[in-house]
Amino acid sequence: MTYILNTHEDQEAMLKAVGASSLEELFAMVPAELRLRRPLELPSAMGELELSAHLAELAARNTAVDRAVCFLGGGAYDHFVPAVVDFVAARSEFYTSYTPYQAEASQGNLQALFEYQTLIAQLTAMDVSNSSLYDGGSAAAEAVLMALSVAHRAERVVVAASVHPEYREVLATYLLNGNTELVTVAATDGAVAPAELAAAVNDRTACVLIQHPNFFGCLEDVGAAAEIAHRAGALLLVVFDPISLGLLKRPGDYGADIAVAEGQSLGNPLSFGGPYLGILACREPFFRRMPGRLVGQTIDRRGRRCWVLTLQTREQHIRREKATSNVCTNQALLALRAAVYLALMGPSGMRHVAELCLQKARYAAEKLTASGALSLAFQQPTFKEFALRVRNGNVNRLLEAARTKGIFAGLPLGRWYPELADCLLVAVTEKRTRSEIDRLAALVA
Amino acid sequence: MSDMSENLLFSKTHEWVRVESDARGAKIATVGVSAFAIQALTDLVYIELPQAGRQVTAGEPFGEVESVKAVSDLYSPVNGQIVEVNTAIVDHLDRLSADPYGAGWLVKIKLSDESALRDLLDPAAYQKQCEEASSE
């Protein structure tokens, strides 16, 4: 990228063009009390060699997951990224391209996104997927806004306390200035009790939002949730784990109306928290209320297969303030990586990864609780993640002890759930080995 | 616009209204979209209509019609409650252009008051508005 200089001569030329005699005159309308009357407090410029060394030193202060053993989860997971994902995504046609304003000029990009949408629809058993959103949290909030519009009800949204706490924070922010009541149903013993859910849902409820497997790794009674929601005329919105769908029923199979997910697990690195990938798919009757961009397949005037942005009448540049969402872009490169990952794995590969996660997580749960120093926090079926209670209550000391041995043992839950201050969340992906799990078990015994 | 029925009223936003009395004497307004507007919208792809029972206010949207290039709101020309919806039209958008003042009707609204009718245009005035729009 070109570094754009701003020389004294450039400034003079620009001032002349706008008819100002000096910078002082140009900024005269800015009130004096808002003006900074001193230089910015920045260190002096470094030479290239010095700067490289400085950045390397800063980067070395981080501990990347490839230099530690990672049992961290809670929405972002250390899954294996096959080399072919990097290979395809690093091709300059994809890696350096920015969506042209005439999107159809870049058929390759549109085709890749169309493949992504198709794969997501197959993975979730939903009818339509958009071409992606920013991350799991905003996808969940966008799904709720979509449900408010579809249901023609904006009075109440019911969300399970076992949905990712940060997703719920994003949702609360989205709903802050509306008139929608956000009702949170407790997740007693790690999952929502159908009776408690039913009690919170009334005939003014637009949607029920649950996560399955939930934030604690536990499976929810999604069939009951679907029935409760639909009986009240509300939609069922589900946050799913894409990797779990190698084994678990797909959202479309148990009655979800809108399914959303964090897509980082699908071939995207942890990258210290982002950029990530928001997945959103829905049933056919609702697709005109979808947020974001949609790629469609059609034929050109010579009858050849081609791709276009479709249903743009939902979007801001046409529908203005009545647009379904203010999202007018997508997470193209990460969606491409997800598409490559899914295409590579196929149904059997997805099943294999899910089985490995399940079996290794099961093994880890048994080993880690064997000594009695740790116990399972909840008596629920789990997938690749589970909550552990520390008998002596000192979660941070355990995590610190593990960290000095190069192990990220888990996520302390007290930050979001004060009642679980003596608990941590442990995630076990297919990358964890028996010896890694045994090392952690020996450490906590 | 030779097919325009003389007993219709029109809104400036291109909805037509036919007011009739039902068996109990209540005033029922049948509402649709004018032939001029249908033609201007070009290829229609989708229409969203409200559910029966909904209260509507003159000048407020009650639905949307989508063409290949734009989405336009459908504005209620009257005050009242929607008592019937032409749900069949959702799958037969061709009826809107083939018979806009007949089979192309959209909703029937039981009037709560007749005040909004005073703001509507008679066929001649509406035709004049359309001619002015076309010549712009």
A318 Cα to chain B: minimum distance (Å): 7
**Between chains, do A313 and B71 touch, taking CB under 8 Å as contact?**
yes
Kindly report, residue by residue over A182-217, the tens digit of the pLDDT: 999 999 999 999 999 999 999 999 999 999 999 999
Superfamily covering domain A66-81+346-444 = Aspartate Aminotransferase, domain 1 (3.90.1150.10)
Burial class (CB in 10 A: 0-12, 13-18, 19+), A302: exposed
| Inter-residue contact A332 to A113 (CB < 8 Å) | yes
> pLDDT over 90 for what percent of chain A?
85
Strand partners, A442: none
- ipTM > 0.90, yes or no: no
Kindly report, residue by residue over A66-77, the tens digit of the pLDDT: 899 999 999 999
**Between chains, do A313 and B73 touch, taking CB under 8 Å as contact?**
no
Span of A21-25, A253-257, B14-18 with lowest mean pLDDT: A21-25
pLDDT at B4 > cutoff 60: no
Q: What pLDDT was estimated at residue B3?
A: 53
Q: What pLDDT was estimated at residue B1?
A: 43
* B121 belongs to a structural domain: no
* B4 belongs to a structural domain: no
> pLDDT over 70 for what percent of chain A?
99
Read off the CATH number of the domain in which B14 is found: 2.40.50.100
Instruction: Tell me whether A313 touches chain B (CB under 8 Å).
Output: yes
Burial class (CB in 10 A: 0-12, 13-18, 19+), B44: middle
| Inter-residue contact A124 to A251 (CB < 8 Å) | yes
Confidence class for position B68, pLDDT limits 50, 70, 90: confident
Q: What pLDDT was estimated at residue A70?
A: 97
Q: What are phi and psi of A238, to 5 degrees?
A: -125, 130
Alpha-carbon Rg for chain B, nearest whole angstrom, is: 14
Cα A115 versus chain centre, distance: 20
Q: What pLDDT was estimated at residue B2?
A: 43
> How many structural domains comprise chain B?
1
Confidence class for position A445, pLDDT limits 50, 70, 90: confident
Instruction: Tell me whether A152 touches chain B (CB under 8 Å).
Output: yes
> pLDDT over 90 for what percent of chain B?
76
Instruction: Tell me whether A298 touches chain B (CB under 8 Å).
Output: no
Instruction: Tell me whether A320 touches chain B (CB under 8 Å).
Output: no
Round to whole Å and give the CA distance between B105 and B92.
12
| Close Cβ partners of A296 (under 8 Å, ≥ 6 residues apart) | A114, A307, A308, A309, A310, A311
Same fold, A66-81+346-444 and A83-341: no
Instruction: Tell me whether B48 touches chain A (CB under 8 Å).
Output: yes
Span of A239-248, A342-351, B31-40 with lowest mean pLDDT: B31-40
pLDDT at A324 > cutoff 80: yes
CATH code given to domain A83-341: 3.40.640.10
Instruction: Tell me whether A317 touches chain B (CB under 8 Å).
Output: no
Kindly report, residue by residue over A92-141, the tens digit of the pLDDT: 989 887 767 788 889 999 999 999 999 999 999 999 999 999 999 999 99
Chain B residues closer than 8 Å to A314 by CB: 71
**Between chains, do B69 and A313 touch, taking CB under 8 Å as contact?**
yes
Round to whole Å and give the CA distance between A412 and A389.
10
Kindly report, residue by residue over A25-44, the tens digit of the pLDDT: 999 999 999 998 898 999 99
Instruction: Tell me whether B51 touches chain A (CB under 8 Å).
Output: yes
Confidence class for position A316, pLDDT limits 50, 70, 90: confident
* B136 belongs to a structural domain: no
Element (H, E) at B125: helix B123-135
Token output for A264: 């980082």
Bridging pattern class, strands A181-185 and A128-129:
unpaired
**Between chains, do A288 and B46 touch, taking CB under 8 Å as contact?**
yes
Round to whole Å and give the CA distance between A201 and B1.
52
Buried b (16+ CB within 10 A) or exposed e, A168-195: bebbeebbeeeebebebbebeebbbeee
From A150, which residue of chain B is nearest by alpha-carbon distance?
Answer: B48
| Close Cβ partners of A283 (under 8 Å, ≥ 6 residues apart) | A126, A127, A128, A252, A257, A258
Helix (H, G, I), strand (E, B) or coil at A214: coil
Confidence class for position A1, pLDDT limits 50, 70, 90: low
Question: What share of residues in chain B are helix, strand, coil (percent, to 5)?
Answer: 25, 35, 40
Chain B residues closer than 8 Å to A313 by CB: 66, 69-71
Round to whole Å and give the CA distance between A363 and A440.
12
> Which domain, by its residues, includes B70?
10-112
Span of A101-110, A374-383, A399-408 with lowest mean pLDDT: A101-110
Instruction: Tell me whether A322 touches chain B (CB under 8 Å).
Output: yes
- Nearest CB among A152, A288, A313 relative to B70 is that of A313
Instruction: Tell me whether B99 touches chain A (CB under 8 Å).
Output: no
Instruction: Tell me whether B26 touches chain A (CB under 8 Å).
Output: no
Round to whole Å and give the CA distance between B78 and A276.
49
**Helices A107-124 and A332-369: crossing angle, nearest 10°?**
30
Q: Of A81, A70, A75, whose CA–CA distance to A360 is shortest? A: A70
Sequence spans of domains, chain A: 66-81+346-444, 83-341
| Inter-residue contact B92 to B120 (CB < 8 Å) | no
Q: Of A324, A263, A338, whose CA–CA distance to A293 is shortest? A: A324
* B41 belongs to a structural domain: yes
**Between chains, do A322 and B73 touch, taking CB under 8 Å as contact?**
yes
Q: What pLDDT was estimated at residue A75?
A: 96
Round to whole Å and give the CA distance between A131 and A309.
10
Span of A120-124, A127-131, A255-259, B119-123 with lowest mean pLDDT: B119-123
Buried b (16+ CB within 10 A) or exposed e, A232-255: bebbbbbbbbbbbbbebbbbbebb
* B23 belongs to a structural domain: yes
Please, what sign has the CA dihedral across residues A173, A174, A180, A181? negative
From B48, which residue of chain A is nearest by alpha-carbon distance?
Answer: A288
Average pLDDT on B80-97 reads 94
Kindly report, residue by residue over A274-301, the tens digit of the pLDDT: 999 999 999 999 999 999 999 999 999 9
| Close Cβ partners of A221 (under 8 Å, ≥ 6 residues apart) | A191, A192, A194
Instruction: Tell me whether B53 touches chain A (CB under 8 Å).
Output: no
A-B contacts at Cβ under 8 angstroms: 15
pTM for this entry: 0.88
The average confidence (pLDDT) of chain A is 95
A310 Cα to chain B: minimum distance (Å): 10
